[in-house]
Every structure is written in structure tokens, then in C-alpha cells.
């Protein structure tokens, strides 16, 4: 999705990551930041050299006052527009699935983020697992930030 909109991220952020470190492999040249509520998960990510923090995605702010070019929220719920604005760079990309209704929420409640066409014929989202269930919970949706930061 990032390539589709021309983003070469310098910072990628995965709140609610659990042990999923795939963003660090997908974007090897970017600074990858992971967040989880479970201290054991954070310790395990740090043991393998990843930048990981313990906290809640609703209140956590990225270190060094940076903002992420790509935020990847999968199965972790959703963030309000105000919370996203604190961590997403101008024209940044938020990739969500709909497990906890994140894609629906963003479509309805985040007017400064636009659903983008990821270049998949006949769909605005795509499924990384092959076949999406009928309820689309594992389909990934990309939303690009269209309003500049204040």
C-alpha cells in the first residue's frame, strides 16, 4: 500500500503489535517502533534488537517528537482521529483491518484520513492471507492523512 501512494517511510509504527515484527521486515530501512501493553512482549521484542515500548496506544506518543509515515494497526482496536493526529505524519498512511471495526470507524469518524485504492482490482482493501472471510475482518485498508498537522 505504501508503494501505491509513493511513501518510502522513514518511521513505521505498530501499536498493539504483540510479537508481530513484520513491519521491520517490510520496511528494513525505516525506524520501526512497536508498542504493546504486555511487558513480556516488549521484553521479547527488545531481546531481538527491536525498538519496543510498553504502553497504551490511546495515550502513547512516539519518542523524540517524531511522527510515523506508516502506522499499522492489526487486531488491536482503533485510535480516534485526535490520537492518530499525534502519531501520523502529514500524508502518512494508516493501515488497519476490521477485526475490531477499525476500518469502519476510520471511514465514519476520521474525516482527515481518506480510504485509498490500493490498486487491487475491484477493491479498496486487500487481504494478505489469501481469501478474506465474508465479514472482511482480515482485509487490510489504507487510509492516507489528507489534512496537515497543526
Q: Which three cell numbers stand for residue 59?
A: 495515550
Is a pLDDT exceeding 80 seen at residue 123?
Answer: no
Residue 129: the pLDDT is 38
Cα–Cα dist 70/11, whole Å: 7
Is a pLDDT exceeding 80 seen at residue 118?
Answer: no
* Range of lowest pLDDT (59-73, 96-110, 135-149): 135-149
Question: Which band of pLDDT confidence, cut at 50, 70 and 90, is reported for residue 150?
Answer: low
- Segment 29-88, tens digit of pLDDT: 999 999 999 999 999 999 999 999 999 988 899 999 999 999 998 877 778 899 999 999
Phi, psi for 84 (deg, rounded to 5) = -65, -40
Is a pLDDT exceeding 50 seen at residue 124?
Answer: no
Handedness of CA 105, 20, 63, 144 (dihedral sign): negative
128 Cβ contact list (under 8 Å, min separation 6): 138, 140
Sequential DSSP letters for 98-149: STTSHHHHHHHH-TTEEE---SBTTBSEEETTSS--TT-TTEEEEEEE-SPP
3 Cβ contact list (under 8 Å, min separation 6): none
Question: Which band of pLDDT confidence, cut at 50, 70 and 90, is reported for residue 1?
Answer: low
Phi, psi for 129 (deg, rounded to 5) = -100, 5
Alpha carbon 111 to chain centroid, angstroms: 17
Amino acid at each position: 500500500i505504501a508503494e501505491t501512494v509513493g511513501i518510502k517511510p522513514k518511521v513505521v509504527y505498530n501499536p498493539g503489535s504483540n510479537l508481530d515484527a513484520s513491519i521491520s521486515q517490510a520496511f528494513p530501512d525505516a525506524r520501526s517502533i512497536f508498542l504493546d501493553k504486555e511487558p513480556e512482549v516488549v521484553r521479547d521484542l527488545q531481546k531481538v534488537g527491536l525498538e519496543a515500548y510498553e504502553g497504551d496506544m490511546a495515550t502513547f506518543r512516539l519518542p523524540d517528537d517524531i511522527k510515523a509515515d506508516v502506522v499499522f494497526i492489526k487486531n488491536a482496536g482503533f485510535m480516534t482521529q485526535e490520537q492518530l493526529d499525534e502519531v501520523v505524519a502529514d500524508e502518512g498512511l494508516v493501515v488497519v483491518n476490521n477485526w475490531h471495526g477499525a476500518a469502519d470507524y476510520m471511514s465514519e469518524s476520521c474525516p482527515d484520513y481518506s480510504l485509498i485504492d490500493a490498486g487491487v482490482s475491484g477493491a479498496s482493501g486487500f487481504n494478505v492471507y489469501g481469501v478474506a472471510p465474508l465479514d472482511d475482518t482480515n482485509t487490510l485498508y489504507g487510509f492516507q492523512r489528507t489534512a496537515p498537522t497543526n
